[in-house]
Every structure is written in structure tokens, then in C-alpha cells.
Amino acid sequence: MNAPVRTANPKNFISGATGDWEVVIGMEIHAQVASESKLFSGASTAFGGEPNDHVSMVDAAMPGMLPVINEECVRQAVRTGLGLNAEIHKRSVFARKNYFYPDLPQGYQISQYDQPIVGEGIVTVEVGPDNKGQFEEISIGVERLHLEQDAGKSLHDQHPTMSYVDLNRSGVALMEIVSKPDLRSSEEARAYLTKVRTILRYLGTSDADMDKGNLRADINVSVRRPGEPLGTRCEIKNVNSIRFAGQAIEYEARRQIAVLEDGGSISQETRLFDPSRGETRSMRSKEEAHDYRYFPDPDLLPLEFDDAYVEALKADLPELPDEKRQRFQSDFGLSAYDANVLVSDREIAHFFEALARGRDGKQAANWIINDLLGALNKAGKPIEASPVSAHQLGELLDLQKEGVISGKIAKDVFEIVFTEGGSPREIVETRGLKQVTDTGAIEKVVDEIIAANPDKVEQAKSKPTMIGWFVGQVMKASGGKAAPQAVNDLLKAKLGIE
Amino acid sequence: MTELTALTIAELRDTLGRRQASAVEVAEAYVAAIEAANPSLNAYVAVTPDKALDMARASDARIAAGEARPLEGVPLGIKDLFATEGVHTQAASHILDGFKPGYESTVTANLWADGAVMLGKLNMDEFAMGSSNETSYYGPVVSPWRSEGSNAKIVPGGSSGGSASAVAAHLCAGATATDTGGSIRQPAAFTGTVGIKPTYGRCSRWGTVAFASSLDQAGPIARTVRDAAIMLKSMASVDPKDTTSADLPVPDYEQSIGETVKGLKIGIPREYRVEGMPEEIEKLWQQGIDWYRQAGAEIVDISLPHTKYALPAYYIVAPAEASSNLARYDGVRYGLRVECDDIIDMYEKTRAAGFGREVKRRILIGTYVLSAGYYDAYYVRAQKVRTLIKRDFELAFEAGVDAILTPATPSSAFGIGAMADADPVEMYLNDIFTVTVNMAGLPGLAVPAGLDSSGLPLGLQLIGRPFDEQTLFRVGQVIEDAAGSFAAPKWW
């Protein structure tokens, strides 16, 4: 199940002082599994709480404690594997990764090493849009996905001479999704990270909330001359925002190019991205790297399940973004751009489907993309907290379609509903925003405008587009309520334009 | 009436049931015996007389109400490896100084649920690493046995030396023990007691301080085969907290005792006839074979060709797991902490002060064999050897063998300090007949079979099919019936 090999695309090249360079990126995404309790203990995974509120004897590594696998986490890992179009391993093995750290109570992390639960897969990523509004579709290989325990947290600012340890996160289940080194630009990397986050959220296998640290990435970056073998890589640890991921890659690629162009060489090392300075710095070199002494955890039997288990989970998967996008394009006639925007977030897609049902899909998409998302963005609200529901917006669209209000009034009513709430139909009714379709009333206004502006009437005879000015005046005079078609027809007749 | 502490568990059950003595009287008798003997034998690292009397009183109430449970009022000693709530649980190590868990191990919880009474915690080799009980932070345990005409102190074997010594000296009616490479069977053989290491997975490991997780298994040390059967019935259970525990019903082991062994096939593995084996051991083994022949069993020669690799492979697998299992003793959360200015210093000084020499040796070996570049050569190969050893046994059992008879140890007990200057490997050789059983995950029973020329006990080992402890008890009883029981002359 290999993704096609990427061919070098000059569009992605970075030009250095001595010629072009290609950056090669691979990513390890750590996503917290959506589950009530931890990977091997019954303690809660709830965010927050006082330090050490959510710690069982197992999490604290008390003598004689044993891990017991949480089946929900296994289920979520398999579902994620299916969502990544990946091979599911019906037998996998938990291994111990041994190292000493105060927030690692066991002295080892239970992870998976040479026999992970999920093998190779493919993620389709839409990169863009470019300045023509076009997306480029690329296929990124997934190397593996494995389950592992999160560590606790050391608190160094609580006491003048001591460090404190908070084990609330200790033992929380993480999925590590390892990509192949298939990414070729910071833009692609951002798009890949975004896409994986979207898939996780569609599946509900992780809330993938980067602000809470529930999604983080370790990013491997190397540079090479186009067509040459892979260069030495550096790993940027624990990047916790998509924007930072882009910045870190840009900085790191240019740093490596500068070193190489100066005749230096890259040493394999782990680096940290400092968002305040926008740069990466060395954390430890390969020589200082730990020997983790991985070996199969003798407290846990190999993890085994059958085809029926996988098939049942597969049958139960929700529609994923790629399928949804295709359906939106074919069923609603949406452009690739519109479909991409709408499926980028499961909640937006839900909103769209609720709105578009029985209505014009294209119009629904425009309203969401141009009006709703803009207003939400300005208000700093996610779609889940939208003050305008799909039902309310639908009513608004219906009013417009029925000819009760004009497009312009519709925008005004949208503003009112967004800020004050209420039923669009009632608002139109009570505030007298109904479109005037009575030709007599409109004609009266048209006549007044024509009478008051003989010079413009004259000009319009030689320049028919001047009709726009008259339409504007009539609409203004009618408070926007005059039916635009009727205004147009009347003006044309009276001004003698054809 | 005989002294209450002289009664076996089976006898005690009858005595208490007939109200010929109360559980409180029995507990008091044991507490008194411990107080008198422990300064000499050092079998207990913590005695819990108040707890014992409280539990005994509750047992008496149960008995009076006609609600006696299988081990009602039976006073037991608990190896310090088992977590006992609110009570000293330190694996006889300095690094667990002051540790009293807020939880109870599944094995001990099972015993209390069946009415047993806790006398206290038993000495052992530190973290169950040793074959003489000389590695304990609390000092060596002394065996109640002495060579004829000598006052020299003798080791009880290890790592369950406190359990063996206490059972042999009647300082408890029975004891819990654990066996990773022979730690139940070797001390049982050294002290004239009966010990069974059940099939891996028969007893839950939850709440038992881990040494080598894939090999550790709890079992009883008792005075008779029947007592061991009674205790194992209560100790064994499937446990949702230990996913390596077996979800199989626990049979009433006692029922198989006394069943004839006529027609059973007893396998004699030729590879256990090791070079330099004392003639006395050879004789004892032959004696065992003769007893079975007389009892109507069929003796068959078998081959377990990979036996010679068991000990070296064991000393890779067990330390590897131990090096990781013992990483949690870091001074951060519980037990000993040597205060320092930074964390690395704290780790190093705490672990340097907290672990004894043998534990450190095994952590170093384990760390080495798991290191990059050595893992395949040592750990992976040792696991392959393990598979081959297991296969040897499977083939023997597939050929119809019901139990395998071997010596339990290559010698009788030695003097305390006798091995102090020896190569550690010489001490490891004590386990030569027992480690294969752990590597294969099989049940093994050690039964006293005689005394050597200096009057020290010797034992024979029976190895059974997975989860076929019944057959071992049934077959083991034959040796007990033929050899009789062995009690150390009281000198303490």
C-alpha cells in the first residue's frame, strides 16, 4: 500500500546561494486517543483538574502494579488506521522503552516497537489553493501507527529548589502516526498535518486539540540537491501548532542550506522550535541519544484480534473528508475549492448538509463560505457555537428564493440574526423588510427619479450601463425593498434601453 | 493434645472445626513461637501480632456461626514480596524503606477471603534475587536445620528462605512464596518442606513486587503435600488486573491426593544427570524411581536435549526483565531517597545506596543484554532457547509422560557465608534443575525425600503438564508417603 514516489517539483525548490535545494520532511504526529480512561489503567483522561487528581496506582508505578489494556483505545487506533487507508495488524506487541525521567514513573514507556498495531497507509492531501484557486492533490505515505503511553509533567516553577511532578497525563493513550519522508515543502507539511487532524476529528478518535497539547508533531527535516540521495536529518520535537510547524520547517531548511553552502555538514540531532524567536535550536546530538533498550513488555500478552473485529469497525466508520468532498462536488455541483473548504471541518460539512438539503447547494455553499465563516471568524467562534443555525440560515435562503426579500436585505437580516438571534421570517415581517413587488409603488419611485435627473436620462441613452446608477437610486429610495427585477424592467422600458 | 504449632493445615482445620482450640489460641501460640525463634532464625522481617489476633477473633466468630471458610483461622507467613495493605512490603530491600502499600496483592487477598490469618512478613533474598537468602537487606535467614554434630548456621535456600525456614521451624502453618528460577522449590528442598511453583498464570501477579515478569509465579511452601494443595487452591485465581493470569477454573487440588499412580508414566530426563552430581543425589533420585515403580507407575527414560542451555538463557531473560522492572525504584515517589542537588545525582546515589550487590549485578547484566548491538545476540537468542526448552517438554508430554521426576537441587544446604567468595555463577548453579521449569512456564513440585549423610534434607522435583497441578499433588504424595516427613531438631 505504497504512496506513489514523489518526483522533484521545481515549484517546491528553495534557491540557495549556490543553486536549488529540495527539502524532505517526515512527520511523527502524536494524537491523544479519545477515551474515558488511560491506555493501561482506569484513571480518567479528563483535561485539567488539580495536579495528580487523575492518577491510579498503575500510573504512579507502585510496586506490583500491572498494566491492563484499555480496549477502547485499541478500537480507536484500529479505526484511525482504517481512516488512514492503512494495513491493520491483527497481532501487535507492546514494548518497553526504557529511560529515567521523574515524570516517567515506571522508568519505561509502554509503546510499540517492531510490531505496531497499524502498518502502511496513504493520506491524500490537498495543497493550496494557489493564486488561481487551484488545489494540488498529493499522496503521502504513512509508515505506521502505534499506541503508546504519554508521560507526566515536571513542574519547575513551584518551589525554589525542587521540581514537582504531575502525573495526570501519565499513561494517557497516544497514537503516534509516522509518515514516510514524502513531504517536500512547509506548505505540504502544514496541509498534511491539517488533513490528518481533520481525519482524526471525523473519526472521533482524537479531539486533536493542539491548544491542549492533544496533537503534537515531531518533524524530521533534511535538505538535498534535487535528485540526490537523502541528506542528514534533524528532528524538531514537540511542535504544537500548524503555523509553528510551517515556520519551524522554513527556518530549519534554510539553516541547513546555509550550513551546507558554507561547506559544513549537518549533524543528526534533536532540535526545539522557539516560537518567540522563530528559530530552532539544538537539544541533544545523536551521541547523546538514549539507548532505549526496547524489549517486549512481559506484563502484556501480544494484542490480537480477528478479521471480524476489523470488519465491524470498518462498517461503522463515518464518511471521511475525501468521500464527502467527492459527494459534495457530484451531488451539489460544488467547485473543488468550495467542497474543500466545507469538508475541512466535520461540523462545517454537517452545517452545509443541513442547509443544502432541499435548497440550492451552490447558494448554500456561498452563504456558508462567504458570510457565515467570515462572521464566525470575526467573532472568534467555532461553527459549533454559531449564533445562526442551519435552520435559521435556511429560512433566510428560503425568503430570498420566495422573492420575499432581496439579496441585499438578506445580508442585513443575516447580520441581525447573527447578533440578536430570532427567526428571519419574523424579523422580515416585524421590521417591514419585505420586498416591494407592487409595480405601481415601484413605478412611482422610478418616475420620481427620472423626473429629478433629466441629465442622467440623457446620458443613459448613449450609455445603457448607466441603468445601474438608476437602479441604485431606486433601491436607495425604497430602502432596498424594491424587487430588483421589477425595478430593472421598469427602468429599461422608461429609459428606452434594450 | 499436641502443641498447636505442630499441627499441619489439614489437622488445624479439623482441630478448629471441632472447637478443640480457638483460632485466637492458635494465633497466640504462633506469635509466641515467632518471638522465641526469630532472634535466632531471622525468618520474619515484620511480625503483625495485633493483626493476627484481630483476624483470629473474626475467624472464631465465623467458626462459631458455622460459616468457616477453607482456611479459617490458619496462621500464615507472607513473603515480603507480596503487597499487604498498611504492612511492611519492602522485598527485603533498603530501597523500599518504610514502604507500606495502600493495596493488597491478589494472592494474599484471596487467602484472607478464605479465612487465613496473617502473622507477618517473611524475609527473602532482596527482590527475590538469590539462592541462599543471604542478599536480604535484613540479614540472612538461618535454617532450623544443622549438620549433625555441628552448630554452624546453614542457609535455608532462597529466595523464599524466610518462608521455608518459618514453615520448617513451625513459625507459621504455611507460607506464601514466589519462584522465578527455583525460589520456592530450592528452599523447600533445603528445609525438608513441600513447595510448589504452579503453572505460569495460575496465581495472579498483581500486587507482587516484580522480579522477572515472564517467569515470576507465586506458590505455597507448606509442611505436607496436602497442605500445599489446600493453600494453592486458595491462592490461585484468574485476575482481570493481571492479563497473564489464566482464565481456567481452579480445581480442588486436595481431592487428587491419595489417588493411585498406577499406570501413570513418570519420565526420567537423562540430561539431568549432570557432571559432578554428588552420589547422594544420584541415590536419592534412584530411590524416587524405585518408589514409583513399587507404586505401579511406569518409568520411562526421556530426553530434554536443550536443558544445558536453560541456565545461561535464564540469566539473560531474568536480569533483562529485572533491569526494567526495578527502574521504578528511583527515589521520586516512595521508599528510600538520598537527597541531592540534581535529579541525576539523586537517582544515582539513591540506587547505589538502596540496592545490594546481587541486585546491582543483575541490573547491570540486564541493562547490558538489552543494549543496542547486544539485544539480538543475547535477549533474542535466549528467547529462542526458551522456545526450544518449552518444546522439549511438550514433546515429552505428547509422548504420554504424566510427570517428570528430577532432583530438586544439586546438593543439600550449605553454610551461611560458605559461598561468600565464590564466583556468582556457582550460586546460580543451585537453580540448575529448577530454572527449566520457569522457562517453560510449567508447574514444579519439590517434595522432601530424605536426608544426606550429614542429616540435612534433600528433595525431589516433579514437573507437570501446564495447569495439571492435580497430577503433581497426586504423584508427590507417593514420595511423602514413602519417605516420611522430616522435622528439624529444635535448638533455637
What would the pLDDT profile of A200-221 be if each residue is shown by its tens digit? Answer: 999 999 999 999 999 999 999 9
Cα–Cα distance, B125 to B416 (Å, whole number) = 13
Cα–Cα distance, B184 to B197 (Å, whole number) = 6
Cα–Cα distance, B251 to A408 (Å, whole number) = 84
pLDDT the model gives residue B95: 98
Q: Which residues of chain B are within 8 Å of residue A107 when distances are taken between CB atoms?
A: 324, 326-328, 330
Q: For strand B265-269 and strand B403-407, is the pairing parallel, antiparallel, or unpaired?
A: parallel
Cα–Cα distance, A458 to A476 (Å, whole number) = 21
Contact: A298, B103; criterion CB under 8 Å: no
Cα B15 to its chain centre, rounded Å, is: 27
Residue of A442, A406, A405 lying closest to A426 (CA atoms): A405
Contact: B371, A61; criterion CB under 8 Å: no
Contact: B330, A96; criterion CB under 8 Å: no
pLDDT the model gives residue B79: 98
Q: Which of A66, A105, A291 is opposite residue B205, by nearest beta carbon?
A: A66
Q: Is A239 helix (H, G, I), strand (E, B) or coil?
A: strand
Q: Which residues of chain A are within 8 Å of residue B386 when distances are taken between CB atoms?
A: none
Contact: B206, A61; criterion CB under 8 Å: no
Q: Which residues of chain A are within 8 Å of residue B213 when distances are taken between CB atoms?
A: 298-299
Give the H or E element holding residue A166. Answer: strand A164-166
Measure the CA dihedral B15/B17/B21/B26, to 10°.
Answer: 80
- Any chain A CB within 8 A of the CB of B91? yes
Cα–Cα distance, A330 to A341 (Å, whole number) = 15
Contact: A295, B89; criterion CB under 8 Å: no
| Grid cell digits, residue A473 | 437610486
Read off the CATH number of the domain in which B81 is found: 3.90.1300.10
Please name the amino acid found at residue B421: D
- A363-370 CB contacts, 8 Å cutoff, 24+ apart: A363/A397, A364/A332, A364/A397, A365/A332, A365/A334, A365/A338, A365/A339, A366/A338, A367/A393, A367/A397, A367/A414, A368/A342, A368/A393, A369/A338, A369/A341, A369/A342
In the DSSP assignment, the letter for residue B443 is: -
Q: Which residues of chain A are within 8 Å of residue B209 when distances are taken between CB atoms?
A: 63-64
In the DSSP assignment, the letter for residue A305 is: -
Contact: B328, A61; criterion CB under 8 Å: yes
Contact: B324, A291; criterion CB under 8 Å: no
**At what angle are helices B23-41 and B49-64 packed, to 10 degrees?**
160
pLDDT under 50: residue ranges of chain B: 1
pLDDT the model gives residue B129: 98
In the DSSP assignment, the letter for residue A318 is: P
Cα–Cα distance, A492 to B283 (Å, whole number) = 126
The torsion angles phi and psi of B266, rounded to 5 degrees, stand at -105, 120
Cα–Cα distance, A45 to A35 (Å, whole number) = 7
**Residue A1 predicted with pLDDT over 70:** no
Cα–Cα distance, B217 to B204 (Å, whole number) = 8
DSSP for B209-255, written as a single string: --S-TTT-EEEEEESSHHHHHHHHHHH----TT-TTS--SPPP-GGG
Cα B343 to its chain centre, rounded Å, is: 37
| Grid cell digits, residue B307 | 536443558
**Residue B233's domain spans which residues?**
1-492
Cα A108 to its chain centre, rounded Å, is: 33
pLDDT the model gives residue A12: 93
Alpha-carbon distance B347 to nearest alpha carbon in chain A (angstroms): 9
**Residue A104 predicted with pLDDT over 90:** yes
Alpha-carbon distance A300 to nearest alpha carbon in chain B (angstroms): 7
* A-chain residue closest to B375, CA distance: A293
Contact: B328, A107; criterion CB under 8 Å: yes
In this structure, how many other beta carbons lie within 10 angstroms of the beta carbon of residue B379? 22
Cα–Cα distance, B459 to B187 (Å, whole number) = 10
In this structure, how many other beta carbons lie within 10 angstroms of the beta carbon of residue A498? 6
Cα–Cα distance, B138 to B38 (Å, whole number) = 12
Please name the amino acid found at residue A78: V
- Any chain A CB within 8 A of the CB of B333? yes
Q: Which residues of chain A are within 8 Å of residue B105 when distances are taken between CB atoms?
A: 64
pLDDT the model gives residue A483: 80
Q: Which residues of chain A are within 8 Å of residue B206 when distances are taken between CB atoms?
A: 64-66
Residue A101 CB-density burial (10 A; 0-12 exposed, 13-18 middle, 19+ buried): middle
pLDDT digits (tens, 9 = 90+) for A383-434: 999 999 999 999 999 999 988 888 888 999 999 999 999 999 999 989 888 8
Contact of B321 with B288, CB cutoff 8 Å? no
Residues 6 or more apart in contact with residue B420 via CB below 8 angstroms: B134
The set of catalytic residues of B is: 79, 159, 183
Give the residue range(s) of CATH 1.10.10.410 domains in chain A: 439-495
**What are residue B154's DSSP bridge partners?**
B415
Q: Which residues of chain A are within 8 Å of residue B214 when distances are taken between CB atoms?
A: 298
Given this structure, which CATH class describes domain A439-495? mainly alpha
Q: Which residues of chain B are within 8 Å of residue A165 when distances are taken between CB atoms?
A: 332
- Any chain A CB within 8 A of the CB of B70? no
Residue B278 CB-density burial (10 A; 0-12 exposed, 13-18 middle, 19+ buried): middle
Tell me which residue has cell 513486587.
B209
In this structure, how many other beta carbons lie within 10 angstroms of the beta carbon of residue A83? 23
Chain B interface disruption, residue of A58, A59, A65, A290, most B CBs within 10 A: A65
Please name the amino acid found at residue A193: L
Please count the structural domains in chain B: 1
**Residue A195 predicted with pLDDT over 90:** yes
Cα–Cα distance, B230 to B251 (Å, whole number) = 11
User: Lowest-pLDDT range, A176-180, A446-450, B76-80, B212-216?
Assistant: A446-450
Contact: A107, B241; criterion CB under 8 Å: no
Contact: A102, B321; criterion CB under 8 Å: no
Say what the pTM is.
0.91
Contact of A120 with A144, CB cutoff 8 Å? yes
* A-chain residue closest to B322, CA distance: A298
Q: How many CB pairs under 8 A join A and B?
A: 96
* B-chain residue closest to A303, CA distance: B243
- Any chain A CB within 8 A of the CB of B381? no
What percent of chain A stands above pLDDT 70? 99
- In B257-306, at which residue ranges do the beta strands (DSSP E only) sit? 265-269, 298-302
Cα angle B342, B344, B347; round to 5: 110
Q: Which residues of chain A are within 8 Å of residue B355 when distances are taken between CB atoms?
A: none
**Residue A370 predicted with pLDDT over 70:** yes
Contact: B101, A62; criterion CB under 8 Å: yes
Chain B interface disruption, residue of A149, A156, A290, A293, most B CBs within 10 A: A293
Contact of A183 with A192, CB cutoff 8 Å? yes
In the DSSP assignment, the letter for residue B175 is: E
- Any chain A CB within 8 A of the CB of B368? no
Cα–Cα distance, A342 to A21 (Å, whole number) = 35
pLDDT the model gives residue A2: 64
Cα–Cα distance, A153 to B290 (Å, whole number) = 65
Q: Where are the alpha helices (DSSP H) in B75-206?
A: 106-113, 161-168, 185-191
Residue of A151, A152, A206 lying closest to A177 (CA atoms): A206
pLDDT the model gives residue A360: 94
* B-chain residue closest to A96, CA distance: B324
Q: Which of B209, B214, B347 is opposite residue A64, by nearest beta carbon?
A: B209
pLDDT the model gives residue B276: 83
Is the N-terminal amide bond of A129 cis, ω within 30° of 0? Answer: yes
Find the mean pLDDT for residues A437-464. 85
DSSP for A102-146, written as a single string: TT-TTSEEEEE-SS-SB--EEEEEEE---TTS--EEEEEEEEEEE
| Summary mean pLDDT of chain A | 93
Cα–Cα distance, A146 to B36 (Å, whole number) = 58
pLDDT digits (tens, 9 = 90+) for A262-307: 999 999 999 999 999 999 999 887 777 789 999 999 999 999 999 9
pLDDT digits (tens, 9 = 90+) for A7-63: 889 999 999 999 999 999 999 999 999 999 999 999 999 887 899 999 999 999 999
Residues 6 or more apart in contact with residue A415 via CB below 8 angstroms: none
Cα–Cα distance, B449 to B289 (Å, whole number) = 11
Contact: A100, B330; criterion CB under 8 Å: yes
ipTM for the whole predicted complex goes beyond 0.85: yes
- Any chain A CB within 8 A of the CB of B454? no
In this structure, how many other beta carbons lie within 10 angstroms of the beta carbon of residue B480? 18
Q: Where are the alpha helices (DSSP H) in A262-379?
A: 307-315, 321-332, 336-343, 346-356, 361-366, 373-379
| Grid cell digits, residue B429 | 548453579
Contact: A96, B324; criterion CB under 8 Å: yes
B113: left (phi over 0), alpha (psi -120 to 50) or beta: alpha
Radius of gyration of chain A (CA): 30
In this structure, how many other beta carbons lie within 10 angstroms of the beta carbon of residue B112? 19
